[in-house]
Amino acid sequence: MRNTNLTPTQLKWIWNIWHDSVGPKVKVPFFKMVDLMNVAARRNGYRDAGEVWREELEIQNLEETVERLYSEIEPLYKYLHAVVRHKLHKKYGSDQIDLKGPIPTHLLGNMWGQDWSSLMNILNVDNIKDELNDKIKSRNATMEQMVLEAEDFYVSMGFPKMTEKFWKYSVFEKKGNVTFCHGTAANLFSDGDFRMHVCGEPNLYGFYVIHHEMGHIEYYMAYEKQPPMFQDGTNTAFHESIGDAIMHGVMTPQHLQRLSLLDDEKLFNNDTELYLILLQALEKIPEMPFALLIDKYRWKAFRNEIPFQQANKIYWDMNKRYRGVVPPEKRDERFFDIGAKFHVPDGTPYIRYFLSGILQMDIFKSLCSYTLLGRNPINKLENRFLPLQRCDIYGSKRAGEQLRRVLSLGSSIHWSTALELITDHRQLTTQPFLEYYQPVFKWLEEYIQQHNVHIGW
Ligand SMILES: [Zn+2]
């Protein structure tokens, strides 16, 4: 689905094959699971299992909080949606795209339409994603070498190296008859036994997954000395955000040049800088309403607000409302399209990824404030600092120490205390998220004005 050279018919075929074969099989077991989990939850004094899921995050009024946070991000999503729709219209025409309506999800370059980075090549900008992928491939590096590069980033900030058992037992690429390919970082709770299990490929996505999973492992290692009951993240959203905060440091022109993935002449090129942020915007911003939706749907299911006979209709109604996307064709109740997302049959909550989207930017911004150029203005007279998008945390022991100190406390502290120790504030804020993507917002705004693009659906 990432291949935008395919025709809409071919993309629809692929989308249908996956959703038709996976979703329906999940529907009955999903509702059975909801009932059983609710029985267990109620026996333990909860209203339903959704309440159990939300409790783990320890965020008061989580449902209202995430809605409020999303309302702050939504204008940015709507701008991105509007420009992408306009570009898709140019590519596919009015047959496929209604310039004022929702976007058919199979045209978004990802099976679930949650990551739009494959659409970089329809935006009429230098395709930095293809460039980076080509560079990564041309190096002929093994997955193990890429893991070493990720390790080097963490070590440069003073984090410990991966353990002997990590190198002995981890799986980095698909070998033989491997059927489980979902990226995982495992803590075996046994004397340095931390493992990474990914079916990585030498491309940008593989590089991201390695950094993400290594963030989990550095967290495991940091709290290994805590008593067993505190050997956990302060909450799952925090756990998810560490590797991604580091990855924002990897995606700077400076670090990509350090890895020989960016040519020297592009190091101070403003366009390259913008496209790197645009690429991350395409990956991360559509994920926000998607993550919100996946759990809002399941919280409703746990409250028995999703009748079996309307399960798919409600899913697509919510998709239209929150994401402005529709299925390639009408889907009836024979299908259960939410079931075609791994985390649904796997029974894994998803709102942590929404919260991680916000937390990772907050953590990244404060790590930046500990770096040399984050502490000192680049222009003293004007008191001008390096913009957040250019912040280079590689090699900053001070930033690393600040983060490690908090990670080493594991779940012995509340997440808001952990956040305060890193950022000096206890509340979730979208400010760093919006600051980071500000150049993209401006770029989208200009495009919208120039082409008189309709916003919303
Ligand atoms: Zn993760």
Separate counts of helices (H) and strands (E) for the chain: 19, 4
Binding site for chloride: what residues are annotated? 352
> Is 213 marked active-site?
yes
Give the Cα separation of 197 and 395 in Å (integer).
27
DSSP class of residue 23 equals H
What share of the chain has pLDDT > 90, as a percent?
Answer: 83
Q: Is the pLDDT of residue 373 over 90?
A: no
The contacts found for 71-75 with CB under 8 angstroms, 24 or more apart, are 72/430, 72/434, 73/285, 73/288, 73/430, 73/433, 73/434, 74/289
Of 51, 131, 151, 213, the catalytic one is 213
Residue 51 CA, chain-centre distance (Å), reads: 24
d(CA 229, CA 307): 39
Distance between CA atoms of residues 70 and 63, nearest Å: 11
- Cα(109)–Cα(286) distance, integer angstroms: 12
pLDDT over 90 (residue 147): yes
Q: Rounded to whole angstroms, how far apart are CA atoms 393 and 415? A: 23
pLDDT tier at 297 (50, 70, 90 boundaries)? very high
Binding-site annotation: residue ranges? 212, 216, 240, 352
Query: By C-alpha distance, which of 310, 311, 371 is closest to 157?
Result: 371
Look at residue 2 in the predicted model and tell me its pLDDT: 74
Residue 382: pLDDT band with limits 50, 70, 90: confident
CA of 239 to the centre of ligand 1 (A): 7
Summarised one tens digit per residue, pLDDT across range 309-365 is: 999 999 999 999 999 999 999 999 999 999 999 999 999 999 999 999 999 999 999
Residue stretches of the annotated binding site for Zn(2+)? 212, 216, 240
How far apart are the CA of 184 and the centre of ligand 1, in A?
A: 7
Catalytic option among 86, 89, 343, 454: 343
What is the mean predicted confidence (pLDDT) over 388-395? 92
pLDDT number for residue 31 = 97
> What pLDDT digit, counting tens, does each position of 3-18 carry?
778 899 999 999 999 9
Radius of gyration of the chain (CA): 22
Amino acid at 414: H
Q: How far is CA 107 from the centre of its chain?
A: 20
Top pLDDT among 80 and 174 is at: 80
pLDDT over 90 (residue 265) = no
Please give the backbone phi and psi of residue 175, each rounded to the nearest 5 degrees, phi first.
-130, 135
Q: Identify the band that residue 106 occupies on the pLDDT scale cut at 50, 70 and 90.
A: very high
Give the pLDDT confidence score for residue 430 in this predicted structure.
Answer: 97
End-to-end CA distance of the chain: 24
Give me ligand 1 centre to Cα 125, in Å: 31
Residue 244 C-alpha to ligand 1 middle, in angstroms?
9
Question: What is the maximum span of the chain, computed from C-alpha positions, in angstroms?
Answer: 66
Tell me what pLDDT residue 339 has.
96
CA distance 356 to 290: 13
Name the β-bridge partners of 186. 195
For the stretch 189-237, pLDDT in tens is 999 999 999 988 889 999 999 999 999 999 999 999 999 999 999 999 9
Q: What is the DSSP letter of 121?
A: G
Q: Tell me how far the alpha carbon of residue 205 lies from the centroid of ligand 1, in angstroms.
A: 14
Q: What sign results for the dihedral spanned by CA atoms 198, 207, 399, 413?
A: negative
> Interface pTM (ipTM) of the complex?
0.99
By the 8 A CB rule, do 249 and 392 touch? yes
Q: Whose structure tokens read 């796997």? A: 346
Question: How many beta carbons lie within 10 A of that of residue 144, not counting itself?
Answer: 12
Phi, psi of 384 (to 5 degrees): -95, 130
What is the distance in A from the centroid of ligand 1 to the CA of 269?
32
Task: Determine contact, residues 294/344, Cβ cutoff 8 Å.
Answer: yes
> Measured in angstroms, how far is the CA atom of residue 209 from the centroid of ligand 1?
9
Q: Over the chain, what is the mean pLDDT?
A: 93
Within 324-377, residue ranges assigned H as helices are: 343-346, 351-370, 372-375
